[in-house]
Structure 1
C-alpha cells in the first residue's frame, strides 16, 4: 500500500480589523520542498465550508505528482472562528481572505517557486480576484463553479427554482415572505434544490462532503454575512459583485469549469470566458455543483492535464 506524504500545521495570521490572535490550519499532500512540480493551492467554498469536501483533489497528487495544499479559511474548520462578527461587513471582506492567502503563500515559501490556484464556488470567486489582480507567483488558475457576476448568478438560480415542483416553490416563496429559513418545511423544500443543483450523489453523502456542510451549520458567520441564508437567497454584501469587469487583466492560463445541473449556471460563468484572454471552458454533463465528486475520474483528468500542459490548449 502506497503511503501518501501528508503534512499538517498552523500558521499565525494577523487578520485585518482585529487584535484577536488568529491561525490558519493547512494540510499539504506531497512534499513541496523536494518536488520539482508546481504545487496546487485549493480555495474552498462557502465561505465557511472548510477544506474537507475538496479532498478528492488528492488524486491530482497521486496521478500527476503535483503537491496539493488544502487549508481552512478564517472563520471555519480548524482555523480561528469569529462568531462574534456575524453580520459585520467591515470584517468579512475580500481583503480578509486574500490577506490570509498571501500569508499562507509567503509562510510556505511559494512566492518565488510559484503555484497554481484552484478555487471552487466562493473559492472560485477568490481565485478570479487573484488572477485579475495578477497575484505574484500565480502560474495558472482554475475557476471551478465560481460565478463571474452575482446578479447573473441570482438570475440563473431563479430559473432553476422556477423548474422545481409547484409545491416546493410555494414553500420556498412563503419562507421568503416570512424571512423564515429555519423551519423543517423550508429545509425539506430547499433539500430538493440542493439534491438537483448542489450535489446529485445519493444519500448519505461521503463523510468529507458531510463535514463541510456541518462546518457551515456549526459557524455560519462568514456565510450569512457574505452571501445570505442559503445558496439561492443572496442578501449578503456580495450580491452586487461583478468580477468579470476586471477579467481582461488576467495574464495566466485559465481553466473554467461548471456542470450541466450546476447552481452556478452558464449565464454567470460565461463572462469569465468572454473576457479572460487565455481560457478553456469545460462543462461536466452528468454533474451539478460537486463535479469533483460526481464525475471524479473525468474531473481529475481535465484538471491534471491542464496543469501538466504547456498552455497550447487554451484560447
Structure 2
C-alpha cells in the first residue's frame, strides 16, 4: 500500500509541475520535486543559510530557511516587531506547500536566530533596506520570481524596499500596515482606545502618562484586553505556540529603538514615530497586494486606500481578522494571498476596481 501511495504521489507531483510550467512564463518545476534538496547548496542544513551582511559597523550574519522548490515563485517573508522573529509565520507551512509556493523564513539582523549586535545605530530603516537587498542577492531572487511579503514593521520595510528597489520585484505584499505612523496613532487614539472598558483604558493611560511601561499590571492589561481585540483575536491561553515563541524571542533593543517602549502605540523618541510614505505610493508600479483586517490595529480603510494609490494594486479584506490575521482569519487571509501570487505568476493579475 505504501508503495502504491508513493507512486501516486510521484505522479501527482509530476503532473503539478507540468501544469505549472505551462502557466509560469515557460519555467519548469525542478525534476527533484518540491520537497527535495537534491542538488541544492543548502541540502546539508535543511534549507538554512546564514547570510553575511555588510553594515557600517562591520559584517554580521542573518538566518534564512528555504521551504520548497519553485523557480517561478519565491516569497521572502519580512517579520514584524521590529526585533520579532520568523516564527510568527510558521502557520504558512500549512498553506503554501500544497500550492507549490517556495518561501523563505528570515530573521532580520538583531532578531533571535541572526546575529544580535548591540550597536543601536544599526536599527535604522534605510540600513534594513540594504540588508534585504543583500539577502535577495544571496538567495538569487530576481524580478522573474521574487515576491516580497511584509507584515506590520515588515510592511514598512517592504514599502521602503519597493520605493528603492522595485525593479527587483515580481510582486509586493503589504500586510496589516498603513503607510503612515501618525495616521496609525490617530486611529489608535480616536477609534480603538475608546472601545476598551473605561476603567481599563484609564488605568492604561495612567501607566502611559507615568512612562511606567514595564509595570506588570500595565502589561497584563494590554495582553488581556487590547491584544485579544486587535492583535490576535484569541484568548492568550489559546495563542499558538509559534506566536508565544516569537514573543519570547523578541529583541527589546531593536523594538524600543524603533517602536518605542509603549505597547499602545509608537511613543518617545522612537525612530519610526514620524514615518510616512503616503505621498510616494503612486510611484510603485509593481503588482501590489494590500491586506487589511476588520479589527486590526491598522485602519483597514487606509489599507484599501493604499491598494488604490499604488499603480497596480489589489486589496484583500479579512472580515474576522486583526493584526495577525494569518491566525485569526486564515480562511480569508491565505486564499486571497495565494490567489494574488498565482495571478501575478500567470499574468492574470488585474487591477480590481
TM-score, with length taken from structure 1: 0.90
Matches within 5 A, 1:10-21: 10-15=50-55, 17-19=56-58, 21=59
Deviation at 1:313, TM superposition (A): 4.8
Q: CA RMSD of the aligned region, Å?
A: 1.9
1:286 to 1:187, Cα distance in 2 relative to 1, 3 A: same
Moved more, 144-153 or 103-112: 103-112
Q: Could you tell me which of 98, 102, 105 is aligned with 1:63?
A: 98
- Residue 47 of structure 2 is matched in structure 1 by 7
- Residue 219 of structure 2 is matched in structure 1 by 187
Deviation at 1:36, TM superposition (A): 3.5
CA deviation profile, 1:9-42 (whole Å, cap 9, x unmatched): 2111112x312x41010011002xxx33221111
Contact 1:30 1:61 survives alignment (8 Å): no
Q: Could you tell me which of 210, 228, 244 is aligned with 1:178?
A: 210
Q: Could you tell me which of 87, 91, 110 is aligned with 2:122?
A: 91
Q: Which of the two has greater helix per residue?
A: 2
The count of corresponding residues between Structure 1 and Structure 2 is 304
Deviation at 1:230, TM superposition (A): 3.2
TM-score, with length taken from structure 2: 0.81
Deviation at 1:61, TM superposition (A): 3.0
Structure 1 gaps of 5+ residues are none
- Residue 77 of structure 2 is matched in structure 1 by 42
Matches within 5 A, 1:21-36: 21-31=59-69, 35-36=70-71
Contact 2:62 2:108 survives alignment (8 Å): yes
- Residue 135 of structure 1 is matched in structure 2 by 166
- Tell me how far apart the structure 2 counterparts of residues 207 and 72 of structure 1 sit (CA, whole Å): 18
Deviation at 1:270, TM superposition (A): 4.5
Matches within 5 A, 1:1-315: 4=35, 7-15=47-55, 17-19=56-58, 21-31=59-69, 35-82=70-117, 84-85=118-119, 88=120, 90-111=121-142, 113-158=144-189, 159-191=191-223, 192-202=225-235, 203-216=237-250, 219-235=251-267, 236-309=270-343, 310-315=348-353
Contact 1:133 1:250 survives alignment (8 Å): no
Deviation at 1:116, TM superposition (A): 0.5
1:251 to 1:134, Cα distance in 2 relative to 1, 3 A: farther
- Tell me how far apart the structure 2 counterparts of residues 64 and 306 of structure 1 sit (CA, whole Å): 12
Structure 2 gaps of 5+ residues are 1-5, 10-33, 37-45
- Tell me how far apart the structure 2 counterparts of residues 134 and 190 of structure 1 sit (CA, whole Å): 37
Tell me: higher relative CO, structure 1 or 2? Use CA pairs within 8 A at least 6 residues apart: 1
- Residue 21 of structure 2 is matched in structure 1 by none
CA deviation profile, 1:28-71 (whole Å, cap 9, x unmatched): 1002xxx3322111111011111001112234532320101110
**SS in structure 1 of the partner of residue 289 of structure 2:** strand
